[in-house]
């Protein structure tokens, strides 16, 4: 009962007073590109891309918190688009469930992007992306409240004294910009972007209050650096800002490329930090255009004792496919880093 009351208290605070809950996030943020920036739609080394990511958090509690997402994006109309430009479309689903399932979130968005090539060699791109869709949040009927505890006894038959909507739905809109380019031919790529989430500032309250979700600003940048014939370095940095809350992620990964008979085997490992919060080692591999990666959050903040050093782990998979069509050009874009 205490756990349920604590959860609903946090929900009411986050929806009815001044405190705003922050959006879900992934430590392997580039493994879920359409959640990071709509302008990353179509930014891959093939024709289309399928992604999936699963996050399991706070396993020291009775039941862990779970976040998961899947997306699909594809380049379109390449036979009609000139000047090495790229038009792409995609869709992404995001789900989140609190420890005991009392609070759940489901979000579905459709996105589109256009990347304009610039420069004589057409090796630099300015992209814009837009994303729209619907979100549903719900609370279950098993929540309990202090009013149901009287004279040292608890009864579900007593009125809770709360007027809570079990489900809320709203339309949401996101947008983003992206620059990417090759400094040297086939050697050094750089990229940077900014995205704006909740442009419509949708109303979100289980208690019917006039409270709106604040906009979220995301700035990300990185590089793809060839160190030698087999080794690459992919440093990155991420800034998230929402309702006076700032999150900073930074780190790098090292890739090893080995040419096999029918494909290139890529092994990679990285070290990341969400400043003043967690330390994130990660590793993975890619073969036959299938990329699998794993990351583990090690808490470094004051939550270390509460989480018993078991903060979160993530598993991500990405498949990049090709649709063969002779005569249709596919420009070389800077690949999203392997984290």
Unique residue bearing structure tokens 């700035």 = 219
Q: For residue range 126-151, what is the model confidence (pLDDT) as tens digits? A: 999 999 999 998 877 666 666 666 66
Domain-located, residue 181: yes
Q: For residue range 167-189, what is the model confidence (pLDDT) as tens digits? A: 889 999 999 999 998 887 666 78
* Number of domains the chain is built from: 1
Domain-located, residue 333: no
Q: Which of 287, 281, 295, 292 is nearest to 252 (CA)?
A: 281
- What is the model's pTM? 0.82
What tokens appear for 272 in the block?
């990341």
**DSSP state string for 77-99:** -TTT--TT-EEEEEEEEEEEE-T
Q: For residue range 269-310, what is the model confidence (pLDDT) as tens digits? A: 999 998 888 889 999 999 989 999 999 988 886 554 444 445
Give residue 59's pLDDT band: very low, low, confident or very high (50, 70, 90): low
Residue, of 64 and 108, whose pLDDT is higher = 108
Domain-located, residue 176: yes
Domain-located, residue 304: yes
**Cα four-point dihedral sign 79, 84, 85, 86:** positive
**Domain carrying residue 275:** 2-321
Domain-located, residue 309: yes
Domain-located, residue 285: yes
Domain-located, residue 75: yes
Backbone angles phi, psi at 40, to 5 degrees: -80, -5
Backbone angles phi, psi at 330, to 5 degrees: -125, 105
- In the chain, where does DSSP find H-type helix? 2-16, 33-36, 304-307
| Burial category of 40 from C-beta neighbours within 10 Å (exposed 0-12, middle 13-18, buried 19 and up) | buried
Backbone angles phi, psi at 302, to 5 degrees: -70, -10
CATH assignment at residue 187:
2.40.160.40
Q: What angle do CA 53, 246, 95 make, to 5 degrees?
A: 25
Domain-located, residue 137: yes
């Amino acid at each position: 009962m205490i756990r349920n009351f604590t959860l609903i208290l946090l929900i009411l605070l986050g929806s009815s007073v001044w405190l705003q809950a922050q959006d879900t996030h992934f430590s392997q943020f580039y493994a879920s590109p359409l959640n990071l920036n709509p302008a990353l739609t179509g930014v891959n080394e093939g024709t289309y891309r399928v992604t999936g990511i699963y996050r399991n958090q706070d396993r020291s509690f009775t039941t862990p918190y779970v976040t998961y997402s899947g997306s699909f994006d594809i380049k379109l109309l390449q036979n009609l688009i000139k000047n090495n430009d790229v038009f792409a479309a995609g869709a992404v689903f995001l789900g989140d469930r609190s420890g005991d399932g009392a609070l759940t979130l489901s979000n579905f968005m459709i996105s589109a992007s256009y990347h304009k090539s610039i420069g004589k060699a057409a090796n630099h791109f300015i992209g814009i992306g837009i994303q729209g869709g619907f979100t549903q949040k719900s609370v279950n009927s098993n929540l309990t409240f202090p009013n149901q505890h009287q004279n040292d006894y608890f009864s579900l038959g007593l009125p809770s004294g709360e007027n809570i909507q079990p489900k809320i739905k709203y339309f949401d809109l996101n947008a983003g910009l992206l620059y990417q380019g090759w400094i040297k031919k086939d050697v050094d790529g750089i990229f940077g972007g900014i995205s704006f989430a909740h442009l419509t500032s949708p109303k979100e309250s289980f208690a019917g209050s006039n409270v709106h979700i604040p906009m979220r600003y995301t700035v990300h940048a990185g590089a793809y650096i060839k160190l030698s014939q087999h080794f690459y370095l992919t440093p990155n940095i991420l800034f998230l800002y929402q309702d006076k809350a700032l999150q900073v992620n930074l780190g790098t990964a090292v890739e090893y490329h080995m040419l096999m008979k029918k494909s290139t085997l890529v092994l990679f490992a990285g070290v990341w930090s969400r400043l003043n919060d967690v330390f994130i080692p990660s590793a993975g591999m890619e073969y036959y255009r299938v990329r699998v990666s794993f990351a583990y959050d090690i808490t470094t903040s004051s939550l270390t004792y509460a989480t018993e050093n078991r903060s979160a782990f993530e598993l991500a998979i990405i498949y990049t496919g090709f649709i063969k069509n002779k005569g249709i050009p596919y420009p070389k874009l800077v690949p999203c880093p392997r984290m």
